[in-house]
Amino acid sequence: MQTQDKPTQSATTPTMDGWDVFLSHNSADNAWVKELAARLESEPFDDSRNIRVFLDVWDIPAGANIVMKLNEGLAKARFLAIVMSPEFFKSNWTALEWTHWVMGDPVNTQGRILPILYRKASLDKKEAISFPAPFRANRYLDFTSKKTATVFYAELLSRIRGQPTPRGEHHQPTRCTVSSTPIPPERYKADDVNELLLSNLFPVVSYPQRIWSAATSYTKPEEVYEKVSIGDGIVIHGGNLYTFADMSDVLCPLRSVVDTATINDKQRRENWLADQDKGRLYTWLINAYLRNHLELIGLDQDDKERYFFPPASDQTSVFYDGREVTARKRNEQLAQDFWVHLAADIRFYRIWNRFFLKLTPCFFFTANGKRPLDGKQQGKMAIRWGGKQRNANILRDVLFWATLLKGNQPQIIIPAGAEHLAIQAIPAITRINKGIRGDHIRFTKLVKLGQETLSEVARDVEIGHIDDEDEPHE
C-alpha cells in the first residue's frame, strides 16, 4: 500500500451519520493501519460518498477526551475492524474497544466484527499470536502476505459495502458431454446456516516453565526407567537428561543416573520454544509425562502408542461410568476367545507456539487382553468396526476420553514434576456459515448416542485365519 495523508474535508469526512468502520489497532501497527485507512477512505461506498473510517489519530483531536471520543466512534460505527497482532491482544486500550462490542454480540451473530490478521509474530519475533476466546472461532481476513491481502481486501470492501463476498473470476464453461439436464441448485449448494465444528484438539492452557538438566552417561530413557522407578518424564539429548522434576531435591530418584555436580534449572520454556531443536525436545518431554500419567491411571499401550483398557484382574469385561470399554468375545470359527478394547491415540502436538492434546479414538483387538492380534486381523476388524460409527459416535468417543482424563477436576491435569500441564476439557471449535440445514445435534443428546456395549456391536465380528486371503467382493 502507498502511504497517504488523511483526506481533507470532503465527502469522505465523517459526518453526524457516523462511520462505516472503526479501525481498532495497537500503536505498534500505526503505520500500516494508517495506510489501510487512507486506502479505504479513497474507495466509494456508493455513488454519493466514499467509505468513512474512524481512526484515533485522525478523529481524536488534541485536548479531546479520549475515552468519550472512542465511545462515540464505537457507538456510531457500522463495523469494528480489529487489526490483530500479538501486541494487539496485550493492550488494555484495544481490549476496551473489542470487549465493548463482544459484550453486545459474544459470537458475532450480526457479523459486525471484522477480524483482520496482520501479524502472527510479535515485532521482536519472540512471541506468536494467541487468540482470546471470542476470536478463536471466527474466520479472519488474512493480510499477512501480499498474495492473501489482495483477495481479502476485496472481501473487506464487500463487507463494508454490504455486498456479497467476491466469488472469483468467471471462466468459459466446459461443454457438458454427459447430460443436458441441469442439476437443481438445491442438490449441490450448501445451505446458508451457521455450523459449529468441533475438533479433537484440546488447548493446553498452562505449561511447566522450568526445565531441569544434568549430564548423564545413559543414552535412552528406557535405560533410566530400568534403573530407577519414577513417575516423571525424561528426554535424553546431547549427553544431558532433561526433566521437569526438581533434581536438586536429595530425594529425587533421578540423581542416581546423572552427574549431580551438573544439575541446574537454567532452562526455560520460552527459550526452548524459540529454538527449533529444543522446541521439539519440549514436545517430547511433555509427551513423556503424558505417557507416565496414562500408565498410572491404568491404561496399557501398544507399540504404536495407542492406549486401551486392559481386562480386569479376573479376566472379565471392564466398565467405566456405566460403559463397557473392554469385552471378551468368542471366535466360533477358531474356537478361541479374543478381546476388543475401546482405545485412543493420545498425544500432545505443537501448532506454532501453542500446544494441543489430540484425542483420536479407535478400537483395539488383542488375543489375551494384552497381546495385539496379527496386523492383518487387526486391520480387518478395525475396518468392520469403524464402519459402524458415524460422526456423532466418534465425537462422543472423543468427549468420553476427555471426561476420563478430566476426572472430577474442571480441567485435564497432567502432573509434571513440581508443576503441571492444564488442558481445557472442551475441544477447540470454529464456526462456518455454510452447512446442511436441519442436520444438527444437541450436546445433551450427543452423549446418549451409541450406548450399545462392545459385546452388542461386536456380535457379527469374526476373526479369520492368519493366512486368510482378502475377502472376495460381494
State residue 404's pLDDT score.
92
Q: Determine which helix (DSSP H) or strand (DSSP E) holds 471, and give its type and residue range.
A: none
Contacts of 388 (CB under 8 A, 6+ apart): 457
State residue 349's pLDDT score.
94
Closest CA to 405 of 372, 429, 382, 427: 427
More confident residue, 442 or 465: 442
Average pLDDT over the chain reads 80
State residue 345's pLDDT score.
94
Give the other-Cβ count within 10 Å of 42's Cβ: 12
Cβ atoms of 197 and 428 within 8 Å: the answer is: no
Query: What share of the chain has pLDDT > 70, as a percent?
Result: 78
Between 131-145, 153-167, 178-192, the lowest mean confidence (pLDDT) is in: 178-192
State residue 204's pLDDT score.
95
State residue 193's pLDDT score.
73
State residue 367's pLDDT score.
87
Q: What is the mean pLDDT of residues 443-454?
A: 46
Q: What SS3 state is found at 171? A: coil
Contacts of 186 (CB under 8 A, 6+ apart): none
State residue 448's pLDDT score.
47
State residue 179's pLDDT score.
53
Closest CA to 235 of 265, 278, 297: 278
State residue 390's pLDDT score.
61
Delimit the CATH 3.40.50.10140 region(s) of the chain: 19-161
Confidence of residue 447 (pLDDT cuts 50, 70, 90): very low
User: CA triplet 70, 76, 78: central angle to 5 degrees?
Assistant: 115
C-alpha 6/C-alpha 12 separation (Å) is 10
State residue 34's pLDDT score.
92
State residue 71's pLDDT score.
87
The beta-strand segments (E) located in 207-335 are 210-215, 234-237, 240-243, 264-268, 300-301, 306-308, 318-320, 323-331
Between 154-163, 277-286, 288-297, 434-443, the lowest mean confidence (pLDDT) is in: 434-443
Q: Is the pLDDT of residue 333 over 80?
A: no
Residues in a beta bridge with 264:
213
C-alpha 359/C-alpha 373 separation (Å) is 23
DSSP string, 92-136: HHHHHHHHHHHHH-TT-TT--EEEEE--SB-TTSS-B----HHHH
Backbone angles phi, psi at 198, to 5 degrees: -105, 145
Confidence of residue 99 (pLDDT cuts 50, 70, 90): confident
* Model confidence pLDDT, tens digit, residues 236-287: 999 999 999 999 999 999 999 999 999 999 989 999 998 888 999 999 999 9
Confidence of residue 357 (pLDDT cuts 50, 70, 90): very high
State residue 219's pLDDT score.
95
Cβ atoms of 54 and 22 within 8 Å: the answer is: yes
More confident residue, 397 or 169: 397
Task: Report whether CATH 2.40.40.20 matches the domain 19-161.
Answer: no
Contacts of 318 (CB under 8 A, 6+ apart): 309, 310, 311, 312, 324, 325, 326
Q: How far apart are the first and last CA of the chain?
A: 62
Between 34-38, 87-91, 379-383, 442-446, the lowest mean confidence (pLDDT) is in: 442-446
For the entire predicted model, the pTM comes to 0.54
| 214: its cell numbers | 544434568
Closest CA to 212 of 270, 254, 273, 250: 254
Cell match 476427555: residue? Answer: 402
